[in-house]
Structures are given as structure tokens and as C-alpha cells.
């Protein structure tokens, strides 16, 4: 490998989207270099061994959104990718009961009826409504978002597709769709259910990763964003990647390398080089320079354009729009090595739902109060937690008999308030200990012996996720999933098709349409846009 | 039995407008009102003091035109400047696009304020086009459809005429939240507080809630000028009443409707609680949708429609507090006689004030709008709108809770007007539950139904009911729960009446 060689395309950042874009481009015959600041690849889809014997999916932790078209196109199973669906989940109460979610329809109906007969009957209507929305949105994920202000044939074509799809719903269903997209998940659940616990259990997906509360309009869409994936055709199903989420990045990376691509680790980008409004390559932090006529940035839109590009190279209104883009850190993560399975006194022995996502939020108002804490710059007093023990299904994650637990925490502000200041700097060791304590207290509602089970624990606050992964504020979606930042508004109006005011510089991360999650769609779509600029039609799902 | 062409239920602003318009088009109209006076929620008074609505900003010229009231309303409208009160005495005086400090010095974000005003007023004019017509679709006649198509085409063209960047920006901010929109342009303080307070006034939303940019634009739909009607809200109501009377409309106050009568799938009239039958082929109801459905009989509505009506969100968050003062308070550099005062020292403050209302608690530090409807009086009233005071207060709105609200309001205003507490001689309080009880408006909400995107346009009041026609043939909704909504605007009533006329044409 000649280091100062020139490439057709350089991808900055080996997150799963960067690698996806790179793999598609390499398959199209492009000479592609991926540069990655860390000494490992994967971005936020990583498996890391921080304590001997245990493997953590230490950022993203479950998989569903990864587009099956991409899995097929890139032959990911060939490189060892195996996603194992998990079934069910539960929310534990403070008085020793639980609400369990089963994927088996009858079991779920019985369990719901145990809490509310009315809700058990309402669930079918609820599930149908959500499923209809999933069906509507899924085809848009791997298409470009049209620019409504443009009269270019392709934009008009995409717009016509949108209108056709919308029209096809019929007026009643179209109304329902508009309604669903603009509602809060809290209001949506209140319309269907009466039981606080059931509502709290279902609401979680509406807030994960966002700076919104369960009663903020638009959170029903966020729920959809978490439901629109599938595993082996099971829409809405979630699963574990065997070997941790890093297995996804590893498989994509392997396909990329198998098609002649080069990955350079420990190579952080200092600057995107430009000349006369065109990108010419990248300069690395260590001074190395690589040339390419096309560069795709897997970094978020703020980091890409506000940190690594000269402001003088961008139109001021574009810079303003990027400055206005909202990326808010709202979540934290605990990764725990356990000496054995913690006890869940409320659960029957060998309950299947323990292999799913476990929670302890009791009501929508408890979740909303958690959001109020976040707005004020505090870690939620009673945070929403999404905990899973993947080692029950995937034995590669922990030594025999021992287990690994992943705990997603919402809300934790990036700009933590301390005294009169609000800043990421306030995340010192004491603050992180306090966060961990608060989360462990919440967890002990479900598993009281959790503290005794801990062999090793990694506490990740938003500031740290930002530092290590490079996600601004530690926001898992590279930007809020609100209407003003979705579809043709993502990342900024007029630039929703992966390109930028600097010719040849593209975005391929989840700041771009259709947004975050381990989906691969922004990366694949960006690759398609890059090839299209060369007059080449991308092979694979787009064909 | 008395025969009419049309019966309108409820003599609030929208009912008055609908009745007058139908009468002007030659229909024999009876307007029925349960209370002793016309006026509905806008004219509702807690006691001796000013009525609930103390200012107008959205009175529709389309309504004035259609009621034949000429070029000007038959009452004086005094445009008011707004004073964004500051605790440190650095009050901000806002007059349309101009913002300056009360001591006459320039406001650091005057330019940003002017640009925002200009932009949002432009957006408002665009949306007004949509407000003055029924929502799209809904089985209207060919001509009406064409007329509507033209209107939408015109909206589309004006959108395009703004130029690409502005069009894109419009489509971006429309669904956004006021907090971000404002704080992207200026640092937090009384001016930002004022903007965000105006965005959420009357709503069960905080400025960080997506969709509040829309409610801000809605308020600015008629130019964004805040006016005080001279003679109070009574003058506005009297003018609408007079327009109806002139056209031959019969107003029957103190009359409660017991049932809306039907024969098969047709409306035939109404029965009053006194047992009288008034017959008409057309009935327009400005009562809340669910109330109207109940008066008609729920068997006229399928289960889906009934469910939607039950799920309509309307949770009033604003209380009216009138303070009787020994004399007008003084605010250096500000002519309070022609000013609207707003206490919302920052956008953060407004959001924080919103928090407790979500859990059925009143704000300890609320957002307040204050005006003096009759500044010339020796001992004037200070008329306050206090937000957030949720309709469903935990423990209920007891006398003690109302007292506390008045105290909180006085104490809060005193943070900027230190001499106020000493001037207050008495107070009147009217909370959302009372507003609801007195007017039948669910939750005492100004718009009868929260103005959010999921309850807007064809979705207002519910999906499939967005075109005024409601249940059996001949029955229409004409209240604020229909498109475009309330706010002493009159367009819901007007649009509904036009729709009814068109169906009979």
C-alpha cells in the first residue's frame, strides 16, 4: 500500500455508514480509502473488549434497522454476520410485578389482559396503526429525499413518487398518516390504552436518542423510526448481532477490503482540502495528505463543515443552516460485566422475556419528568433505561456462566449543569459516578442484586461518546429526528441529497436522510449519489 | 312550532358570524344562546372586570367583508405596543418590527427581531390564504373545488415567489419549535421570552414543543398587530350581533338546546330545554364537537368517529385574573395606556412555567399578559391572562387554589412592577374549569381543541370530519374546533356558513 497514492474516493470515518458507502463504491470499481481516527473501526457499531473475557457492544447494542437490501448486496452473512432476534421484554414495577411483552400474539394478549382487559383488546388496533405507518415509510428509506423547491426532473420524479404513495393511501389513511407523524407518542398511547405500565413500556421507543419528551409532538415518528426495521422479514423485530454490534461493521469492512478497499486506522482527519470550491483530498492530524476528487464524510454535518472545512469555502447561509442544525446529547450508556445472571425476583424462572429489553419506568408522567430534568441540564432522577443481557443468547459475549449487560440511559444532558454553568466539561468522575449510581438504583427495581454482580462497568456519558466516537454531543442519531430535520430538511434544506456546496464533498453519515440507527441507508444512498454524479447507476438495491 | 331556514347553536364569535352571514344571504336564521348574553368565551367575564379576551390580533377582514360591515369595524381598534417586562428594569418595547429598550437605547437584537417579524408575517399571510377556505377535499361542488384549487395554487405560487431559499426555510420551520427558532437568532432574555410566550399563549404546549412555530405564525396571520378594541370585547360582540340583527337574524338568549332533532339521516331542527321545537333543515353548532354529537345522538356517528371525538385534546391552560388597582402603575419610559405588558423574562422561563402544567399543577412563576382596557379610569382594571393554570388542577380549583393563583400572579408581576402589590384593591379569578363550565368549551380551551398539527386542517376536529358537515345531513360544526380555529377571528363560523350555503345551493 503506497500511502501517498491518490484515490477515487476517500471516506472519512469508518462507522457502519462510512463503510457501507465505501463498500458500495469499491464494488463499483472505485479505488477507495477509508480513514478512521480510532485504532478500531465501527464508529458507534463496535464490539470492544474492555475487561478480559467480556465483549461489550459499547455504543449501539441491538439491531433491526440495518436494511436487508444492504445485507444482501454486500453479502454480509458471508463475512460472519448473524443477527439473532430476541423475543419480548418487560417493564418491572416497584411493587414486585411486571408487564411482559411477548412476540406471541396470544401470550401478549393474556399478559395485557392481566393488567387491563380493555388494553388487551386495544392493542390490535394500535399494532395495526403502527404497522401501516411502517409499511408506508419503508420504501422511502433507500430513496433520495426530493427538494420541494427544485424543478429538476429527478426531484420532480421523487416528488411524484411521494404524491403517488400518499394518494394511494386514500384520504382517510392519509389523514391518519399526517396525524401519526405529527403526534406525540404520549397522546397516541393515551388514545389507545388506559394502563400506565403498558403505556410506559410502549413509549420508550418514542424517545430513545432524542431531546424530546413523551408528550412532545413528533415523538410518534421517533417510535416509528425504531419500528420500521426488520429481522428476516419480521417487521419491528430487534435482535443481537452475534459477537456484538461490531460484527456488523466488521462484516461490511471485510466486504470492502475483499473488493480492494483500504482502511487506515489511527488516522483522524484534520481538514478536508479544497481548491476553487472543489474538494481535493484530506489532510490527517499526523500531517499526511491523501488526494481524491471525491470525499465522503461519515462525520456528522456540524463536525464536517464547522470543524474540518474552512468557513471561507462555504456560503455563509449554508454555514448558518449547519449551525442551526440540532444535535443534542440526551443519552448515556452503562456496559456491565456480570459474574453471573442477576436475579429478577418478580420474573418466573427462565422467563423468556428476560432475554429481551427490560425497563423500570412506571408511567408516562415519570418519563416526562425525566425529560424535564434533562431540559434543566440534570441527569434524570428516574431515567428511562433500556437494559439487555445479550450473553443469554450469544455466548461469545461473556465467559461461561458469566454475563454481559448493556444499559441505555435516557436522559443524560451533554451540557451538564453545575452551579451556574452548563457544559460538557462538567462531566467529571464525580458526575459520572453519580450517573451510574442513579442508574443502578433504577435497575435494582428489576434486579436488586445488580451491584453485587458487577465485575467491571463502563460508564459512558454524552461528553465521552462525543470524544471517543466523534458524535457531536454524543447524539446517537447525528442530529435530532424532528420534522425540521427529516426527509428533505435533513441535514439542511436544499442539501438533502448527500452533496454539499463544496463540489465532491459528500455526507454519508446519519446526519443525512433517512437518519440514525444502525441502518446503513445514508451510506448506501450517499454511494449512489456519488456514482450518479459520474453518470453510473449503482448496482444492487437501487437497480 | 317555529320554522327557520337555519338554526345556529351558540352565540360566541363564530356562532354570531355564521348566523349573520346566513341571514345576509337571505336565510331565516335563529341564533340560540344558553347564556343571558351573546359573546361566548370571548365575552365571558369573571365579575365586574374585563372579559376573557382583552385584545384582538386576528379579527378577520374576510369576515368583516362578508358581514357587510364596510371598510372598518364599527368600533375603534387601538394598536398597542408590547412591553416585554424585565426584572432588572431593562424592559423591551416592541412595536411591530421595532424593538428598543424602554430607556430609548437600541436593543442588541433589534435587527434579528425585525427580520423575524418580517419573515413570520410573510408566512402568516401565506397561511391566511388557507385559513379563509375550507380544508382540501371533502366532496364539495365542482365550482367550489375549482375556487379552492385556485386558492391553493395561489398559495403555492406565493410560496414559490418567495424564492427557493425562503421556500425551503418555510417548509423547515413550519413544523419546528419556537424555542429553537427564536434562540437561533437572539440570546435568551425578555425579547426571546416575549416571542416564545406569544407562540404558546392559550396552548397546552411549551415553546420547546414542535409545532409552536406554527402557533406563532397563526397569531401573526393578520399582520401580527395587537389591538385593543375600545369599549372592550363587548364592542366587538355588539358589532357582530348588530350585523346579524340588521340582516334579520333572530337571537334567543337564555335558551338551552336539549336535542338536535333528526329524521332518518336528516336534521329537522332543535328542541329546547323548555320543550319548544324550532325546526330547520340546517343546523350549525358552535358547541364543542362531542357536545354536538351528544345533542344529536351518538347513534348518528360511527364508533370510529365517536372515538376520535373523545380523543380530541382540549386542555385549557390559561386563567383570567382581573386586578382592580387604586391607580395605574408606573413604568418609566413606557406609556402603559397604550401598551400590552408581557412577563416572560426568558424563553427558558416560559418552558419552565409549562412544566408543572403537564402534571396538573399551576406554575409558581407563570407567564402573564397584562393590559389596561380602560386606562382613563380613576381606579383602572389590570386585565391578566395567566399561564399555565391547567384545567385539570390536582385537587381541583378550590377557592383557596384560585386565591393562590391571584397571589402568584400579583407576586410574579411585582418582579417587574414593584409597586403593583400595594395598588391592588381587589381581584377576580376565572380558571379554565370555570371557563369550560360557563361556555361548554371543553377544558376551557380557547380553540375548543388544541391547535397542533394532528388536529389541524382536514384533521380538525377529527380525521374525516374536517369539512364542517357533521353526522346527519344538514348538521354542521361552526365553532373553533373546526378549521382554522379560534382566537376571536370568526373564520370557522364564516367558512362553515359558506359551506352550508353551498350545499343547499
DSSP A105-155: HHHHHHHHHHH-HHHHHHHHHHHHHHHHHHHHHHHHHTSPPP-TT---HHH
Indicate the DSSP class of residue A304.
I
Contact list in A for residue B464 (CB cut-off 8 A) is 171-172, 175
Whether residues B466 and B325 fall in one domain: no
Tell me, yes or no, whether B297 and B240 share the same domain.
yes
* Burial state string for B165-202 with b = 16 or more CB within 10 A and e = fewer than 16: ebbbbbbbbbbbbbbbbbbbbbebbbbbbbbbbbbbbb
* 3 state DSSP class of A184: coil
- The count of domains in chain B is 2
Assess A212–B contact: CB distance below 8 Å, yes or no: yes
d(CA A360, CA A91) in angstroms, rounded, equals: 5
Q: Do B168 and A369 touch (CB under 8 A)?
A: no
**Domain match, B207 and B322 both:** yes
Residues of chain B positioned with their CB less than 8 A from the CB of A147: 168
Q: What DSSP assignment string belongs to B37-81?
A: SS-TTTT--SSSS--S---BS---HHHHHHTT--SS-SS-EEE-E
Indicate the residue among B430, B456, B482 that finishes a domain: B430
Using DSSP, state whether B145 is helix, strand or coil: helix
CATH of the domain at B493: 3.50.50.60
Tens digits of residue pLDDT in A397-431:
999 999 999 999 999 999 999 999 999 999 999 99
Q: Label residue A541 by pLDDT band (50, 70, 90).
A: low
Domain boundary among B371, B405, B430: B430
Give the pLDDT confidence score for residue A543 in this predicted structure: 39
**In a domain? residue A420:** yes
Q: How far apart are CA A238 and CA A176, in angstroms?
A: 26
Distance from CA of A410 to the nearest CA of B (A): 18
Phi first, then psi, for residue B93 (nearest 5°) are -100, 120
User: A351 with A380, same domain?
Assistant: yes
B160 assigned to some structural domain: no
Q: Measure CB to CB from residue B210 to each of A147, A368, A482 and give the nearest one.
A: A482
B20 and B85, same domain (yes or no): no
Lowest mean pLDDT among A12-16, A294-298, A300-304, B158-162: B158-162
| Residue B300: inside a domain | yes
Q: Which residues of B touch A192 (CB under 8 A)?
A: none
Which residue range is the domain that position A157 belongs to?
A: 128-228
pLDDT for position B107: 97
- Mean per-residue pLDDT for A381-394? 97
Residues A11, A35: contact at Cβ < 8 Å?
A: yes
* A319 & A332 share domain: no
> Could you tell me if B107 and B213 lie in one domain?
yes
pLDDT value of position B333: 85
Question: Do both A522 and A446 map to the same domain?
Answer: no
Q: What is the CATH number of the domain that holds A502?
A: 3.50.50.60
Q: What is the pLDDT along chain B (505 residues), one digit of tens a residue?
A: 689 999 999 999 999 999 999 999 999 999 999 999 999 999 999 999 999 999 999 999 999 999 999 899 999 999 999 999 999 999 999 999 999 999 999 999 999 999 999 999 999 998 888 899 888 776 666 777 777 778 778 888 888 888 899 999 999 999 999 999 999 999 999 999 999 999 999 999 999 999 999 999 999 998 889 999 999 999 999 999 999 999 999 999 999 999 999 999 999 999 999 999 999 999 999 999 999 999 999 999 999 999 999 999 999 999 999 999 999 998 888 888 889 999 999 999 999 999 999 999 999 999 999 999 988 899 999 999 999 999 999 999 999 999 999 999 999 999 999 999 999 999 999 999 999 999 999 999 999 999 999 999 899 999 989 999 999 999 999 999 999 999 999 999 999 999 999 998 7
**Contact predicate B315/B450, CB 8 Å:** yes
- Same-domain status, A335 and A316: no
Q: At what angle do helices A521-533 and A16-27 cross, to 10 degrees?
A: 40
**Can you tell me the distance from the alpha carbon of B162 to that of B27, in angstroms, rounded to the nearest whole number?**
42
Determine the residue of chain A that is closest to B355 in CA distance. Answer: A372
Is the pLDDT at A353 greater than 80? The verdict is yes
Name the residue range of residue B16's domain: 2-75+231-312+445-504
| Inter-residue contact B270 to B261 (CB < 8 Å) | yes
The answer to whether residues B333 and B418 belong to one domain is yes
For A38, phi then psi, to 5°, come to: -80, 170
In this structure, the answer to whether residues B190 and B99 fall within a common structural domain is yes
Q: At what angle do helices A117-141 and A105-115 cross, to 10 degrees?
A: 130
Residue with cell 370585547: B233
- Domain match, A487 and A468 both: no
Q: What are phi and psi of A522, to 5 degrees?
A: -60, -40
Whichever domain contains A384, its CATH number is: 3.90.660
Which chain B residues are Cβ-neighbours of A175 within 8 angstroms? Answer: 458-459, 463-464, 466
**From CA A461, how far away is CA A304, in angstroms rounded?**
22
A414, part of any domain: yes
SS (H, E, C) B362-398: CCCCCEEEEECCCCCCCCCEEEEEEECCCCCCCCCCC
CA distance B293 to B477: 10
Domain stop point among A228, A251, A273: A228
Same domain, A214 and A151: yes
Gap between the Cα atoms of A319 and A313, Å rounded: 10
pLDDT at B160: 83
Name the more confident of B145 and A440: A440
Q: Which three cell numbers stand for residue A6?
A: 491518490
CB-CB under 8 Å, A179 with B459: yes
Q: Please check whether residues B9 and B71 belong to one and the same domain.
A: yes
Which position has the grid cell 364539495?
B140
Within a domain: B165 = no
Burial annotation B99-126 (CB, 10 A radius, 16+ → b, else e): bbbbeeeebebbebbeebbebbbebbeb
For the domain that residue B191 is a member of, what is the CATH number? 3.90.660
Q: Is residue A47 included in any domain, yes or no?
A: no
Chain A closest-CA separation from residue B469 CA (Å): 16
Q: Are B209 and B334 in a shared domain?
A: yes
Note whether residue A257 is domain-resident.
no
**Do B368 and B494 have their domain in common?**
no
Cβ within 8 Å, pair B171-A368: no
The predicted-structure confidence for A106-123, as pLDDT tens digits, reads as follows 999 999 999 999 999 999
pLDDT for A2: 47
Half-sphere exposure of A94 (CA within 13 A, CB side): 7
A148 to chain B, any CB pair closer than 8 A? The answer is yes
Q: Hey, is the C-beta of A121 within 8 angstroms of any chain B C-beta? A: no
Tell me, yes or no, whether A101 lies in a domain: no
Cell, residue A8: 477515487
pLDDT of residue A3: 53
Q: List the Cα angle B415/B418/B419 in 5-degree steps.
A: 150
Per the domain annotation, does A69 fall within a domain? no
Residue A238, in any domain of the structure: no
Asked if A443 and A385 count as a contact pair (C-beta separation under 8 A), the reply is yes
Listed range (A91-105, A524-538, B119-133) with the worst mean pLDDT = B119-133
If one counts the domains in chain A, the total is 3
- A315 lies in some domain: yes
Tell me the average pLDDT of chain A: 95
Amino acid at each position: 500500500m503506497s500511502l501517498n497514492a491518490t484515490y477515487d474516493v476517500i471516506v472519512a470515518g469508518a462507522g457502519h455508514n462510512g463503510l457501507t458507502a465505501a463498500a458500495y463504491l469499491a464494488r463499483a470499481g472505485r479505488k477507495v480509502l477509508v480513514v478512521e481516527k480510532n485504532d478500531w473501526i465501527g464508529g458507534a457499531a463496535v464490539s470492544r473488549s474492555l475487561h478480559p473475557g467480556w465483549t461489550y457492544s459499547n455504543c449501539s447494542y441491538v439491531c433491526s434497522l440495518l436494511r436487508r437490501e444492504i445485507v444482501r448486496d454486500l453479502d454480509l452473512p458471508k463475512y460472519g454476520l448473524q443477527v439473532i432476534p430476541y423475543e419480548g421484554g418487560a417493564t418491572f414495577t416497584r411493587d414486585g410485578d411486571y408487564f411482559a411483552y411477548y412476540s406471541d400474539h396470544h401470550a401478549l394478549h393474556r399478559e395485557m389482559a392481566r393488567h387491563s382487559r380493555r388494553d388487551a383488546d386495544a392493542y390490535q388496533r394500535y399494532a395495526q396503526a403502527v404497522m401501516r405507518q411502517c409499511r408506508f415509510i419503508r420504501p422511502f428509506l433507500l430513496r433520495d429525499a426530493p427538494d420541494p423547491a427544485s424543478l429538476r426532473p429527478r426531484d420532480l420524479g421523487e416528488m411524484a413518487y411521494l404524491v403517488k404513495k400518499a394518494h394511494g393511501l386514500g384520504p382517510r389513511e392519509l389523514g391518519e398518516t399526517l396525524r401519526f407523524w405529527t403526534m406525540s407518542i404520549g397522546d397516541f398511547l393515551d388514545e389507545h390504552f388506559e394502563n400506565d405500565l403498558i403505556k410506559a413500556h410502549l413509549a420508550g421507543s418514542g424517545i430513545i436518542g432524542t431531546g424530546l419528551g413523551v408528550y412532545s409532538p413528533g415523538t410518534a415518528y421517533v417510535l416509528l423510526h425504531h419500528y420500521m426495521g426488520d429481522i428476516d422479514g419480521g417487521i419491528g423485530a430487534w435482535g443481537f448481532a452475534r459477537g456484538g454490534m461490531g460484527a456488523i461493521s466488521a462484516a461490511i469492512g471485510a466486504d470492502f477490503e475483499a473488493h480492494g478497499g483500504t482502511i487506515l486506522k489511527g488516522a483522524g482527519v484534520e481538514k478536508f482540502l479544497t481548491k476553487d470550491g472543489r474538494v481535493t483530498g484530506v489532510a490527517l492530524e499526523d500531517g499526511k495528505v491523501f488526494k481524491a476528487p471525491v470525499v465522503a464524510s461519515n462525520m456528522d454535518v456540524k463536525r464536517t463543515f464547522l470543524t474540518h472545512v474552512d468557513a471561507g469555502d462555504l456560503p455563509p447561509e449554508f454555514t448558518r443552516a449547519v449551525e442551526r442544525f440540532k444535535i443534542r446529547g440526551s443519552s448515556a450508556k452503562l456496559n456491565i460485566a456480570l459474574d453471573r445472571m442477576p436475579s429478577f425476583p418478580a420474573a418466573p424462572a427462565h422467563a423468556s422475556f428476560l432475554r429481551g429489553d427490560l425497563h423500570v419506568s412506571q408511567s408516562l408522567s415519570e418519563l416526562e419528568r425525566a425529560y424535564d430534568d434533562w431540559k434543566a441540564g440534570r441527569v434524570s432522577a428516574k431515567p428511562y433505561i433500556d437494559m439487555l443481557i445479550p450473553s443469554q443468547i450469544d455466548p461469545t459475549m461473556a465467559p461461561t456462566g458469566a454475563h454481559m449487560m448493556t444499559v441505555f440511559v435516557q436522559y443524560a444532558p451533554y451540557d451538564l449543569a453545575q452551579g451556574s454553568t452548563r457544559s460538557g466539561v462538567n462531566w467529571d468522575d464525580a458526575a459520572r459516578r453519580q450517573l451510574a449510581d442513579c442508574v443502578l438504583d433504577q435497575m435494582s427495581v428489576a434486579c436488586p442484586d445488580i451491584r453485587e454482580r458487577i465485575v467491571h462497568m463502563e460508564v459512558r456519558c454524552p461528553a465521552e461518546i462525543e470524544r471517543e466516537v466523534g458524535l457531536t454531543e454524543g447524539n446517537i442519531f447525528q442530529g435530532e429526528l424532528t420534522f425540521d430535520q427529516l426527509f428533505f430538511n435533513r441535514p439542511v434544506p436544499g442539501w438533502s441529497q448527500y452533496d454539499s456546496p463544496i463540489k465532491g464533498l459528500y455526507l454519508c453519515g446519519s446526519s443525512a436522510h433517512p437518519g440514525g440507527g444502525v441502518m446503513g441507508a445514508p451510506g448506501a444512498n450517499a454511494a449512489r449519489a456519488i456514482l450518479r454524479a459520474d453518470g453510473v447507476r449503482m448496482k444492487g438495491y437501487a437497480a | 312550532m317555529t320554522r327557520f331556514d337555519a338554526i345556529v347553536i351558540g352565540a360566541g364569535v363564530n356562532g354570531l358570524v355564521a348566523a349573520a352571514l346566513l341571514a345576509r344571504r337571505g336565510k331565516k336564521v335563529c341564533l340560540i344562546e344558553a347564556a343571558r348574553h351573546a359573546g361566548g368565551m370571548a365575552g365571558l367575564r369573571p365579575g365586574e372586570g374585563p372579559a376573557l379576551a382583552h385584545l384582538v390580533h386576528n379579527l378577520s377582514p374576510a369576515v368583516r367583508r362578508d358581514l357587510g360591515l364596510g371598510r372598518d369595524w364599527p368600533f375603534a381598534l387601538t394598536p398597542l405596543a408590547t412591553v416585554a417586562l424585565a426584572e432588572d428594569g431593562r424592559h423591551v418595547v416592541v412595536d411591530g418590527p421595532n424593538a428598543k429598550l424602554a430607556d430609548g437605547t437600541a436593543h442588541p437584537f433589534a435587527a434579528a427581531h425585525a427580520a423575524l417579524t418580517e419573515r413570520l408575517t410573510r408566512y402568516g399571510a401565506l397561511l391566511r390564504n388557507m385559513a379563509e377556505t375550507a380544508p382540501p377535499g371533502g366532496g364539495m361542488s365542482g365550482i367550489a373545488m375549482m375556487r379552492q384549487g385556485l386558492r391553493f395554487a395561489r398559495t403555492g405560487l406565493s410560496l414559490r415567489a418567495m424564492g427557493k431559499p425562503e421556500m425551503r426555510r418555510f417548509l423547515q420551520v413550519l413544523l419546528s419549535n419556537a424555542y429553537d427558532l427564536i434562540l437561533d437568532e437572539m440570546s435568551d432574555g425578555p425579547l426571546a421570552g416575549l416571542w416564545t410566550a406569544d407562540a404558546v399563549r392559550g396552548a397546552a404546549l411549551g415553546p420547546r414543543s414542535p409545532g409552536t412555530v406554527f402557533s406563532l405564525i397563526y397569531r401573526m396571520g393578520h399582520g401580527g398587530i395587537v389591538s385593543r378594541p375600545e369599549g372592550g370585547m363587548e364592542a366587538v360582540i355588539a358589532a357582530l350581533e348588530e350585523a346579524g340583527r340588521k340582516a334579520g337574524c333572530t337571537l334567543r338568549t337564555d335558551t338551552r338546546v336539549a336535542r338536535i332533532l333528526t329524521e332518518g339521516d336528516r336534521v329537522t331542527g332543535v328542541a329546547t330545554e323548555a320543550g319548544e321545537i324550532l325546526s330547520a333543515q340546517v343546523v350549525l353548532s358552535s358547541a364543542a364537537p362531542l357536545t354536538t354529537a351528544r345533542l344529536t345522538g351518538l347513534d348518528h356517528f360511527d364508533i370510529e368517529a365517536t372515538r376520535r371525538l373523545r380523543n380530541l385534546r382540549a386542555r385549557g391552560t390559561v386563567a383570567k385574573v382581573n386586578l382592580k388597582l387604586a391607580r395605574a402603575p408606573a413604568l418609566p419610559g413606557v406609556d402603559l395606556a397604550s401598551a400590552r405588558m408581557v412577563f416572560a423574562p426568558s424563553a427558558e422561563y416560559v418552558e419552565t412555567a409549562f412544566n408543572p402544567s403537564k402534571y396538573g399543577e399551576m406554575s409558581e412563576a407563570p407567564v402573564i399578559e397584562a393590559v389596561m382596557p380602560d386606562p382613563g379610569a380613576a381606579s383602572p382594571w389590570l386585565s391578566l391572562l395567566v399561564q399555565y393554570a391547567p384545567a385539570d388542577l390536582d385537587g381541583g380549583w378550590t377557592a383557596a387554589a384560585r386565591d393562590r393563583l391571584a397571589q402568584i400572579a400579583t407576586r410574579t408581576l411585582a418582579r417587574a412592577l414593584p409597586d403593583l402589590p400595594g395598588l391592588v384593591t381587589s381581584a377576580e379569578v376565572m380558571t379554565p374549569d370555570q371557563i369550560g363550565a360557563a361556555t361548554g368549551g371543553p377544558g376551557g380551551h380557547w380553540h375548543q381543541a388544541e391547535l397542533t398539527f394532528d388536529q389541524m386542517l382536514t384533521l380538525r376536529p377529527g380525521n374525516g370530519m374536517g369539512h364542517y358537515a357533521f353526522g346527519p345531513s344538514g348538521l354542521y360544526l361552526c365553532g373553533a374546533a373546526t378549521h382554522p380555529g379560534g382566537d376571536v377571528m370568526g373564520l370557522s363560523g364564516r367558512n362553515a356558513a359558506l359551506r352550508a350555503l353551498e350545499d343547499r345551493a
